[in-house]
């Protein structure tokens, strides 16, 4: 009796078709930034009548405007990277990836972990999601389990594309809770807006929980049949003799791989450490300052509550937690070096996107777009309009805080005029900023480096996710009340 392979569903066919087209046409992330610069300039010329000199000077004028904020974002990424690569965290990942028994289960687990850790920290969610995707892809290949690697990588990117801006590292939410922020200086708001009105408000928590469930359903439906799944080996070489995998499998089987340590040959590493070596690796010196920092962070929350969370507190806390995990200062520094290397593309591209901000603000283009969208809003549709506005701007300026500094004042004032609470405005904006990361490859650069993928290899499925999330987000932002909680 012969068996026939099931035909792909309509959603699976849609994902496969989108993947084929994007793989053919999508440029690299850096070229994407350059192309968007030209598009912004052309739009400013057509809409605002800006000349070549004004465009060039506006571009140059904005090029370095995000240096402080860019450094804060890179620190979020790097400090989270160091924590994610600690052996204890890696051991947890190695255990978890052995839970799924099918390709679909693998994709769902990676997506769930990415979205939950992304809520804790976008940097942590991005790196843990990338590590999870790669390790899951390698293990599936070893076990002969069919899993579609491009969709697995998109699942690892979902924390950055859905939940992060509602979470603990929310740029807009934390910026509004920072004393003396730009909106207080401009008189848009009289005081800080506490994270209890944004990140920790039941509205944001409900959005996060329901959206995770919906996204997992979409990932499940998108997973192609086993016959159409392309594994990790189609995109990168996999070493099946990897020592970490072998040791873990031996432990799972109850066997030991312990061997006598090799003797250091003459001319090799000096067996007797120097005083400088001892100082560099002194766990007391590293551990003491790390525990002090962790204690200061805990004291800040105990005395000021959850409203104490801002970008500086978040970065300080993650830096001290990382140092506490490694304790050895030199080990922490070496891991930090590796993390900075993975963020090199982001460091390069941040000024170019700041230049796009310069074009859009210097020529008045951003005001034209924002004012038009806000002008058609009603009290009921305003959250949806805020989401759309943020989504459009995020394509050109993939920086949650950078975008918010541009349009936040106008959005808050328009929302207040319509009777919309500031916290409601901020959280509706936040999802638009995160959602279009499924189109904009800027923040995927570290994930691409870890997973061995090109942007065009996975962004067909990322754009498919963006499209399938759109009707859900439009409906829930329209019907979910903020003041009911």
pLDDT tens-place string over residues 11-63:
999 999 999 999 999 999 999 999 999 999 999 999 999 999 999 999 999 88
Query: Is 300 inside any structural domain?
Result: no
Specify the pLDDT at position 403. Answer: 84
At 53-64, the pLDDT tens digits run 999 999 999 888
SS3 229: coil
Tally Cβ neighbours within 10 Å of residue 201. Answer: 22
| Lookup result for tokens 């052309």 | 42
Q: Round to whole Å and give the CA distance between 58 and 357.
A: 9
Query: Is 420 inside any structural domain?
Result: yes
Query: Is 259 inside any structural domain?
Result: no
pLDDT over 80 (residue 348): yes
Tally Cβ neighbours within 10 Å of residue 346. Answer: 21
DSSP designation for 363? S
| Lookup result for tokens 């066997």 | 255
In this predicted model, which residue has the larger pLDDT, 190 or 68?
190
What's the mean per-residue pLDDT of the chain? Answer: 87
2 contacts: CB under 8 Å, gap ≥ 6:
none
The dihedral through the CA atoms of 106, 235, 335, 256 has a sign that is positive
Mean pLDDT, residues 205-225 taken together:
96
Asked if 145 and 231 count as a contact pair (C-beta separation under 8 A), the reply is no
pTM of the model: 0.82
| Residues 444-462: b if buried by 16+ CB within 10 A, e if exposed | bbbbbebbbbebbbbbbbb
Query: Is 262 inside any structural domain?
Result: no
SS3 172: helix
Structural domain total, the chain:
1
Mean pLDDT, residues 82-94 taken together:
87
Closest by alpha carbon to 130, among 323, 138, 142? 138
At 161-180, the pLDDT tens digits run 999 999 998 989 998 998 88
* 228 phi/psi in degrees, rounded to 5: -100, 0
Specify the pLDDT at position 425. Answer: 95
> Domain containing 83: what range?
10-246+343-479
Choice among 1-10, 217-226, 289-298, 399-408 with the minimum mean pLDDT: 1-10
Burial class (CB in 10 A: 0-12, 13-18, 19+), 380: exposed
pLDDT over 60 (residue 303): yes
Specify the pLDDT at position 251. Answer: 46
Query: Is 22 inside any structural domain?
Result: yes
| Lookup result for tokens 């490694």 | 326
Q: Round to whole Å and give the CA distance between 423 and 189.
A: 12
Query: Is 30 inside any structural domain?
Result: yes
Listing DSSP states for 245-277 in one string gives HHHHHHHHHT-----PPPPPPTTSS-SS--HHH
Query: Is 275 inside any structural domain?
Result: no
* 350 phi/psi in degrees, rounded to 5: -55, -45
Mean pLDDT, residues 378-394 taken together:
93
Asked if 379 and 481 count as a contact pair (C-beta separation under 8 A), the reply is no
Q: Round to whole Å and give the CA distance between 45 and 363.
A: 9
Q: Round to whole Å and give the CA distance between 375 and 353.
A: 27
Specify the pLDDT at position 270. Answer: 53
Closest by alpha carbon to 360, among 406, 391, 392, 404? 406
Choice among 112-116, 342-346, 444-448 with the minimum mean pLDDT: 342-346
Give Dmax over CA atoms of the chain in angstroms.
78
SS3 267: coil
Mean pLDDT, residues 369-384 taken together:
90
Q: Round to whole Å and give the CA distance between 365 and 450.
A: 37
Query: Is 258 inside any structural domain?
Result: no
Specify the pLDDT at position 45. Answer: 95
Q: Read off the pLDDT band of 90 (50, 70, 90).
A: confident
Specify the pLDDT at position 37. Answer: 94
């Amino acid at each position: 009796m012969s068996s026939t392979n099931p035909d792909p569903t309509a959603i699976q066919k849609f994902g496969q078709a989108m993947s084929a087209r994007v793989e053919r046409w999508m440029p690299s992330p850096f070229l994407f930034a350059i192309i968007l610069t030209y598009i912004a300039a052309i739009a400013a010329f057509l809409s605002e009548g800006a000349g070549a000199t004004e465009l060039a000077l506006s571009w140059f004028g904005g090029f370095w405007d995000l240096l402080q904020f860019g450094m804060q974002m890179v620190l979020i990424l790097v400090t989270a990277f160091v924590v994610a690569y600690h052996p204890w965290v890696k051991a947890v990942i190695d255990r978890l990836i052995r839970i799924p028994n099918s390709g679909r289960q693998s994709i769902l687990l990676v997506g769930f972990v990415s979205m939950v850790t992304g809520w804790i920290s976008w940097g942590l969610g991005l790196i843990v999601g990338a590590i999870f995707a790669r390790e899951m892809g390698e293990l599936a290949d070893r076990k002969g389990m069919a899993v579609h690697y491009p969709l697995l990588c998109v699942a690892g990117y979902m924390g950055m594309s859905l939940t992060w801006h509602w979470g603990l590292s929310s740029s807009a939410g934390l910026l509004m809770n920072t004393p003396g922020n730009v909106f207080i200086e401009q008189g848009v708001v009289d005081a800080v807006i506490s994270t209890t009105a944004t990140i920790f408000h039941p509205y944001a928590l409900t959005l996060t929980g329901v959206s995770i469930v919906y996204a997992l359903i979409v990932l499940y439906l998108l997973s192609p049949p086993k016959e159409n799944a392309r594994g990790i080996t189609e995109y990168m070489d996999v070493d099946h003799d990897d020592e970490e995998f072998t040791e873990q499998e031996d432990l799972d089987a109850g066997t030991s791989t312990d061997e006598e340590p090799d003797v250091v040959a003459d001319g090799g590493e000096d067996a007797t450490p120097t005083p400088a070596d001892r100082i560099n690796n002194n766990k007391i010196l590293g551990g003491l300052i790390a525990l002090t920092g962790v204690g200061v962070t805990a004291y800040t929350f105990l005395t000021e509550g959850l409203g104490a969370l801002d970008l500086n507190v978040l970065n300080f806390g993650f830096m001290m937690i990382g140092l506490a995990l490694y304790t050895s200062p030199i080990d922490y520094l070496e891991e930090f070096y590796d993390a900075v290397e993975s963020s090199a593309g982001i460091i390069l591209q941040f000024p170019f996107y700041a230049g796009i901000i310069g074009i859009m603000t210097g020529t008045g283009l951003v005001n034209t777009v924002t004012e038009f969208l806000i002008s058609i809003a009603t009290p009921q549709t305003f959250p949806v309009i805020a989401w759309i506005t943020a989504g459009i701007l995020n394509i050109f300026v993939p920086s949650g805080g950078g975008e918010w500094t541009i349009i936040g004042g106008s959005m808050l004032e328009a929302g207040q005029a319509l009777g919309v609470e500031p916290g409601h405005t901020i959280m509706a904006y936040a999802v638009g900023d995160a959602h279009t990361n499924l189109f904009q490859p800027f923040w995927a650069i570290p994930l691409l480096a870890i997973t061995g993928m090109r942007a065009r290899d996975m962004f067909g499925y990322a754009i498919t996710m963006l499209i399938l999330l759109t009707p859900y987000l439009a409906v829930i932002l329209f019907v979910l009340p903020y003041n009911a909680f």
